Amino acid sequence: MPAFNHKLYLVTDQQACLGRDFFKVVESAVKGGVDIVQIREKELHEKDFLKKTLQLKELLDKYNVPLIVNDVLSVAMHGRTAGIHVGNSDLSPVMIRMQWPESVLGYSLEHLDQLSTSNAMVADYIALSPVFATATKQDTVIEWGLEGIRQVRSLTKYPLVAIGNVHAGNAAAIINAGANCLAVVSAICSAEDPEKAAATIRNEIEKSI
């Protein structure tokens, strides 16, 4: 399995871009320090999702930044992306690993007992979602908080990605609690200057490592 050593993870949200050009927002974020991107499109038809994924991958390849697809295995594979991220209501990581062994595979943890399952064990990184409650993801079971990060960190050596209301103001605390990487949506996508917002968060991460 590929090593996961990324620090600032942008999860895209077309609506959070506030009417601005989606690709320009993502490119600005990458220039600011984002080193991995996940494209998440719940509303697009699969054909349109693939088209957008291919266009985004072409952009990110210029910066050597890997692209992860949320949920849809066919788009991830046909788009020749780096990998896929899934939750518990999606295709299981075990099945994905069998079909696409070379992929980067992320798995969202909703309960502590899921950490010891085969789905978690075949993943390259574990996402704790959400760390703090957020309007961008309302179908969640638990709010992990800093104590939850500490608890999971004490139980696993897997890379931990924290997502959910992550911003410059809490970035250091989240890293200090044990997260390896911060996944950000609106704090970058909705920022007046996405490049500056990403750079500020990346700086907080670097200071805390």
Number of Cβ atoms within 10 Å of the Cβ of 6:
21
CA–chain centroid gap for 126, Å, is 10
Using CA atoms, how far residue 144 sits from 26, 66, 82, 83, 86, in Å, is: 27, 27, 27, 25, 18
pLDDT band of residue 63 (cuts 50, 70, 90) is very high
| Catalytic residue selected from 97, 137, 186, 202 | 137
Annotation says 118 is catalytic: no
Does the active-site annotation cover 129?
Answer: no
Kindly name the residue from 103, 108, 129, 186 that is annotated as catalytic.
Answer: 108
pLDDT one-digit tens code per residue, 191-202: 999 999 999 999
pTM assigned to the model: 0.96
Q: What is the pLDDT of residue 146?
A: 98
Give residue-wise pLDDT tens across range 162-194: 999 999 999 999 999 999 999 999 999 999 999
Q: Is 150 a catalytic residue?
A: no
* Tokens 């897997």 sit on residue: 158
Q: Each residue of 147-160: pLDDT tens digit?
A: 999 999 999 999 99
Average pLDDT, the chain: 95
Instruction: Set out the domains of the chain in order of their start, with CATH numbers.
Output: 8-208 (3.20.20.70)
- Name the catalytic one among 40, 52, 57, 202: 40
- The three-state secondary structure class of 134 is strand
Q: What is the pLDDT of residue 2?
A: 58
Q: Is the pLDDT of residue 140 over 70?
A: no
97 within 8 A of 115, measured Cβ to Cβ: no
Contact 136, 186 (CB under 8 A): yes
* pLDDT (average), residues 42-52: 96
Label residue 89 by pLDDT band (50, 70, 90).
Answer: confident
pLDDT (average), residues 66-84:
98
